[in-house]
Structure formats: structure tokens, C-alpha cells
Amino acid sequence: MTVSKVEKETRGTFTLELDPGESGFPFLPGQFNMLYVFGNGEVPISISGDPERPDILVHTVRAVGKVSKALCRLRPGDVLGVRGPYGSSWPVDACRERDILFVTGGLGLAPLRPAVFHIFNHRRDYGKVILLYGARSPDRLLYTKELETWSRALRVEPAVGSAGPDWKGHVGIVTNFIARMDCDPAQTKAMICSSESMMRSMISELNLLGIPDREIHLTLERNMKCGLGLCGHCQLGPTFVCKNGPVYSYDRVKELLAKREL
Amino acid sequence: MHFIIERENLDRLLAALQEHGRIIGPRITENTFGHRDIASSQDFPAGWTFEQDGGFFRLRQRRDPSLFAYTVGQDSWKKELYPPRSRLLSLQKTESSFSVTPEKSSSEKVVFFGVRPCDLAAIQIQDIILIQGPFADPEYSRRRENAMIVAIECTQPAATCFCASLGTGPGISSSSDYDLALTEVLDDGLHYFLVRAGTEQGRAVIAGLGLAEAPEQNIIRAENLVQEAASRMGRTMDQKGIKQLLYDNHEHPRWDQVARRCLTCGNCTQVCPTCFCHSVYDRVSLSGKEAERFRSWDSCFLLDHSYIHGGSVRVSSRSRYRQWITHKLASWIDQFKVSGCVGCGRCITWCPVGIDITEEIQAIRQSDERGCNA
Ligand SMILES: Cc1cc2nc3c(=O)[nH]c(=O)nc-3n(C[C@H](O)[C@H](O)[C@H](O)COP(=O)(O)OP(=O)(O)OC[C@H]3O[C@@H](n4cnc5c(N)ncnc54)[C@H](O)[C@@H]3O)c2cc1C
Ligand code: SF4
Ligand code: SF4
């Protein structure tokens, strides 16, 4: 597929728009693709675009190593290989009529963004919707333009580690603000994405609010070479993160995540 | 129905099989045993057997001319069906893009001669994973389709064998997926094979040779040999509740003990006929214009296997040994509805420090953390 647009989000993080051609690229929020850069390799990257716009395929990539750096060096007109979409999705259909609480930080908004788009597009189908989104500093927040747009229909609650005097959001780590989100625990579905250690703290805060494990959904990361459940790398106990995940309801992986070095 | 073919006529069978494709079978070359091309029955290791134990493999001369009085060496049929390294794609940079040429998988017809019951079970397990899953592996599927299987029952188990306790050997059940199944019998100077067909293709070979139906007493003789073999297995593994046993003993002190010996070399995973983990890597030409993508066998014992940016999930060697054995014997059952172990004993023999999967399970069972003593 050809890159049609590249936008710098923050230092080292870029959003690529790809042209999937006539057939478009339908996907479910939370699914990922395997992206291949000529001669460099192939890595799993979440799809970050609007599920109602299959005519543009969007990926947000942070340059951390060989392949992700090569992805971030691509320019409009460059071509890359795309396989997918793979994996499970956020339960956006199953939680209509419900209140939704998104909790995420930094790049973690990338895999959640299609779910936020979906809910924004079908706003009337859902109850109260909160997006609690943290970053180290305001310049590390992704998709700032959209956060503005979304805030017209959803409650967007940004939280940063440190900020200048003109910052209007929260200051501190996201987990500190979960308790203040005045959610109705009986009504709320939580969808979270962050590092595993952060998600652990998020979950204990969500549990304190009274949101049970089965109402918490999260997305996991494991080494992946194939995306098809055949290379063996992404195993988490009996599950393959590429095919049973990456999105899981927490009650299904709680025991697995509690095991060290599983 | 059982047929009979004498040792002297084995080359007629081989000639008939050659019509189907290149025959690969057990052979000793340069003092090592492996799966090699077979031109005639002279190529089989007549009068040889193996002595095997933890970290130990020796060829030993026998006093009789038997051709198949041994079990398995380091080669498994995985090497033929799922090669250790294969090219997936060749890519060529063009003006503004790149072109991709997928590798054509081999269409060569082959005959696997001398597939042991455990290995037959292993092939069926790999079929479940690589053919019957939601995504079939094209290379494996193609090679599997082109392979005719001539299996052979075991009458001389090794000290490392434990198929009998897993129900995968030493005999071949008629529900197994073979074209022909053989049993070798040496009896008072007589040397013959019982032959059964499992497929139309196999039946056609038997019919083509005009083999005689085997007399009842010969069938019984062969069955006894296999039954005796079952009682002479060098090792056993109790499968009872094994999945939960491993799931529940994630923090067992035995993992530390085995980790002190394990070199995390991955030999066990390379010789295992069911291990399927692989990695994919790229090679680029000096000009930067051509690239190739290769797949190669990988091992959960390597640190890179679980690497995600920032570090590996399984850092300690205890966690990597535990992952391997737990996958083989427990999570495999959840994933594919069968155990990942067929009791071939290769991982015991080819482990440089002689770590023994049956012994590890036994140790954990004896001090199961769920109650008994620790
Ligand atoms: C389901 C899923 C969705 C993801 N979505 C995104 C996203 O939207 N944006 C983004 O920037 N990143 C995402 N990642 C992480 C991204 O895959 C890694 O950053 C990337 O693989 C790093 O590769 P590298 O070659 O640049 O890094 P290196 O550190 O050089 O990694 C070497 C190899 O290790 C493996 N590897 C390293 N880190 C990871 C990882 N975190 N996950 C899986 N394999 C890894 C890859 O095979 C990689 O080629 C996602 C990962 C998964 C599993
Ligand atoms: S785990 Fe060991 S005994 Fe079991 S099939 Fe693999 S190599 Fe053979
Ligand atoms: S168990 Fe033996 S063969 Fe396997 S990795 Fe450890 S030392 Fe190597």
C-alpha cells in the first residue's frame, strides 16, 4: 500500500495514512495489521483510524527499534506491505446503551482510537462516555485536534505528569484520577490500554470504583512474527495474543497476567 | 487385512514405492544415523541398533540382520515437512515500489519410509496446527500432500521411549494416517514383514505386488512382538491431570533446580517432532535492491523469543524451561485438543545435559504444591 500522508504526532511518533485502493480496508476497532518495510522486517501495529472510513488506513507508530524507525521514515508515495486485519476487537457493539470509561496513556490511545471514533459516530447509542487520557507532558498527547472535537460529545479528561501554567487538565498520573470519574459501576464498561504494570494499577482503581473484572477490557502486546497463531511467539498461557487477543476481557486473562514470566 | 512380504522381496516394495516418489528413510552414513535417500534395501542399517539415554546416543551392532530394530534418531519428519529454514518471499525494489514473489513450495513427490508410531502421531499433531487451523501453512500443506507414508511398528524400544504411556506407540492403530504400515519379524531364520494398507494408495501398492495374505499365526507373532515392546519401554509418563498439575505449579521450586542444569540451548525444541515455533527474518542484497524473507525454526528457550521492546517476557531460564514443558504438556491441550508430546524421547537423548521430561514431571507430581509435601 502507498503512504498518502505522514503526520508527526509527538517527538518520535508519527501517524501514517495509507491508501488501501478501491476495495478499502474494513476492520474492527482494536484489530491490528502486520506492516512490512522493504528489507527491514514486519511488525504488528494497531489500526488507529475511523472504522467508518475504510478508504483510509491509519497507523500511529512510535519509533523504538529497527522496523518502527523505518516505518517512521516513510514519506508520502512510499510503499509498504500490509497484512491483516488480525485479532479480536473492542466490544463496542456489545456495550451499546452502556456508560463507557476509556483509560489510557501516551501511545495507548492509538489502539483505542477506532473505538472512540465508533462511539463518537454513534453517540446516541451510548450513555455517559469518559476518555481519561494521560501523558508525561501536554506535548506528548496524541491526536490533540481530535481530543478537541471529541470533547464536544464525550467527556475528555486529559492528565499530564507536568505542565505549564496554561494547562487546564489534570496534573498527575492517570491512575490517580480514576476514582474521581464518578461512574456508575453497574452501568460502566471500561476499556484500557497501557503498559502491563500501568494497567495493573488502573484495574485496581477500577475495581475500587466497583467495576468488576468482566467489565474491564484491555489490549495486550507480545512478540509476534506471523499474526496467524503459527509462529508461537505471542503465547500467553493457552492463548495466542494475535488470535485470541489482542483485546481481552480482563476476567479471562486475570490469572494468566498474575503469573510471573508466563 | 494383513499381507506378508519376505525380506528378499523388500526391494520389490521399494521399487513400487519409487514410482510414487523419492524414498527417504533411516540410514547410517558417516557413522551417524539420519533420514536419507534410500535407493535399495541395502541402504537400511542392517544389524544395527541404538543405545539411548539422557544426553547419550550410540550406534551398536546387533547379532541379527534386522533392518529396523531401533527407534528414532535426531531427525524427525518435521525436517521434511516443515524445513528448518525456507525462503518465503523474494522482493525486488522497483522505481516507486517493490514487487513480491512468493516462494513456490516444493511439489516433489516423496515417500517417507520407516515412520515410527510416535512420529506418525507427531505428523498428525502438526496437521492439526498447520493444516486444520484457521490459517493453513501453504508450504507444510503442499509437502504433506505430496508425501506418502510407510510407517513401521516398533519392536525394539529405547530406554528413552515412553510412547506406550501416551498411547502413541509402539503399535500403529488402524485409525492412524498412514498409507502402508509394516511390522518386521525375525523368526527362526525367517525374516519377513507384515504389511497393512491405510489408504487407497497403499492398497494399490499391495495389489500391484500381488502380496499374499498373512497367515493368522504370523499376525499373532507380530502383534506379540509389539506388545512385548510396549512392556519394555525405558520410561513412562503419567498423563493423569497433567494439564492442571502444570498450571497449578507455576512457582514450583523444581523449576529452579532444572534451570541450574538447563543451558537454554534449545536442542530439545529442534529435535522435537511437534515443536512448531518459528521466526522470520530478512536478508537484503548489498545494493539494497533485492530482499528475501526467510522462516526458520525458533525456540522458546531463546531470550529473543519473547522479546518486546524494553525486554523479554521470559528472562530467567526457569521461566523458559517451564514455558516449554507447560506448552508441550498442558496449554497445547487447550490450544489443539491434544498433547504436544508423543513420547519419542528425543528431547531426553539430545539434551546435552540429559534433562528428562518424564523425570521433571515426576518430580513435580511428587511434590505437587496443591497440597502434598513440597
Ligand atoms: C497487537 C499489537 C499492536 C501494536 N500496536 C502498535 C501501535 O499502534 N503503534 C506502535 O508504535 N507500536 C505498536 N505495537 C508495538 C510494535 O509492534 C513494536 O514497537 C515493534 O514491533 C517494535 O519493532 P522494532 O523492530 O522497531 O523494535 P526492536 O526493538 O528492534 O524489536 C525487534 C523485534 O522484536 C519484536 N518486538 C519488539 N517490540 C515488540 C512489541 N512491543 N510487540 C510485539 N513485537 C515486538 C518485533 O518482532 C521486532 O521486529 C503493537 C504491538 C502489538 C503486539
Ligand atoms: S517433548 Fe520430547 S518426548 Fe515429547 S514429543 Fe517432543 S521430543 Fe519427543
Ligand atoms: S532442556 Fe536440555 S536441550 Fe532443552 S534447552 Fe535445556 S539444556 Fe538445551
Q: What cell does B134 get?
A: 484457521
Q: Which letter does DSSP use for residue A106 in this model?
A: G
- Using the mean position of ligand 2's atoms as its centre, give its distance from the Cα of residue A255 in Å: 28
Contact partners, residue B80, CB within 8 Å, separation at least 6: B24, B35, B110, B112, B143, B147
- Using the mean position of ligand 3's atoms as its centre, give its distance from the Cα of residue B268 in Å: 5
Q: Do A222 and B306 touch (CB under 8 A)?
A: yes
Ligand nearest to the CA of A48: 1
Spatial distance between the Cα atoms of B191 and B170, rounded to a whole number of angstroms:
20
Q: Do A233 and B277 touch (CB under 8 A)?
A: yes
Ligand nearest to the CA of B302: 3
Is the omega angle on the peptide bond into residue B134 within 30 degrees of 0, that is, cis?
A: no
Query: Is A150 buried (19+), middle (13-18) or exposed (0-12) by CB count in 10 A?
Result: buried
pLDDT at A3 over 80: yes
- Using the mean position of ligand 3's atoms as its centre, give its distance from the Cα of residue B356 in Å: 9
pLDDT confidence of residue B106 = 84
pLDDT digits (tens, 9 = 90+) for A15-32: 999 999 999 999 999 999
Answer whether A228 touches B (CB < 8 Å): yes
pLDDT digits (tens, 9 = 90+) for A139-175: 999 999 999 999 999 999 999 999 999 999 999 999 9
* Domains and their CATH numbers in chain A: 2-86 (2.40.30.10), 99-219 (3.40.50.80)
Our answer on whether the CB atom of A41 is closer than 6 Å to any ligand 1 atom is yes
Q: Do B298 and A243 touch (CB under 8 A)?
A: no
pLDDT confidence of residue A80 = 96
DSSP H helices, A79-152, are 109-121, 144-150
The angle subtended at Cα B351 by Cα B349 and Cα B355, nearest 5°, is 95
Min distance A147 CA to chain B CA atoms (Å): 28
Strand order across the B180-187 sheet:
B32-37, B22-29, B110-115, B147-152, B180-187, B190-197, B3-6, B212-213
- Using the mean position of ligand 2's atoms as its centre, give its distance from the Cα of residue A239 in Å: 21
Our answer on whether the CB atom of B25 is closer than 6 Å to any ligand 2 atom is no
Q: B134: how many CB neighbours lie within 10 A of its CB?
A: 8
pLDDT confidence of residue B371 = 52
Residue in B251, B284, B314 nearest the CB of A39: B284
Our answer on whether the CB atom of B78 is closer than 6 Å to any ligand 2 atom is no
pLDDT at A191 over 90: yes
The angle subtended at Cα A176 by Cα A175 and Cα A177, nearest 5°, is 90
- Please give all residues whose beta carbon lies within 6 A of any atom in ligand 3, as ranges: B 262-268, 301, 351-353, 355
Nearest chain B Cα to A227, which residue? B135
CB-CB contact of B178 with B172 (8 Å): yes
CA torsion angle B66 B71 B74 B79 (round to 10): 90
Q: For chain A, how many helices (H) and strands (E)?
A: 6, 15
Ranges of residues in chain B whose predicted pLDDT is under 50: 372-374
ipTM: 0.92
- Using the mean position of ligand 1's atoms as its centre, give its distance from the Cα of residue B189 in Å: 65
pLDDT confidence of residue B370 = 66
Over residues A179-193, the mean pLDDT reads 94
Q: What cell does A245 get?
A: 487477543
pLDDT confidence of residue A5 = 97
Q: Do A260 and B314 touch (CB under 8 A)?
A: no
**What φ, ψ does residue A215 adopt, rounded to 5°?**
-95, 5
Ligand nearest to the CA of B267: 3
pLDDT confidence of residue B374 = 39
CB-CB contact of B167 with B342 (8 Å): no
**Cβ under 8 Å to B: A residues 182-221:** 221
Spatial distance between the Cα atoms of A121 and A153, rounded to a whole number of angstroms:
10
Spatial distance between the Cα atoms of B245 and B242, rounded to a whole number of angstroms:
5
Min distance B133 CA to chain A CA atoms (Å): 9
β-strand pairing of B3-6 with B190-197:
antiparallel
